[in-house]
Amino acid sequence: MNGAVVNQKVKKLLCALASDTCELCKKRKDLKDLQIHRIRRGIVGGNYHWRNCQVLCSECHKLIHGNEYK
The domain total for the chain is 1
Domain with 25, as residue range(s), is 19-65
Over residues 40-61, the pLDDT tens digits come to 988 898 888 888 999 999 999 9
Residue 44 falls within a domain, yes or no? Answer: yes
Residue 47 lies in a domain: yes
Type of residue numbered 5: V
In a domain, 52, yes or no: yes
Contact 10, 48 (CB under 8 A): yes
**Predicted local confidence at residue 16, as pLDDT:** 95
Q: What pLDDT, in 10s, does the model give residues 12-30?
A: 999 999 999 999 999 999 9
Taking the C-alpha atoms of residue 32 and residue 45, their distance in angstroms, rounded to an integer, is 26
- Classify residue 31: in a domain, yes or no: yes
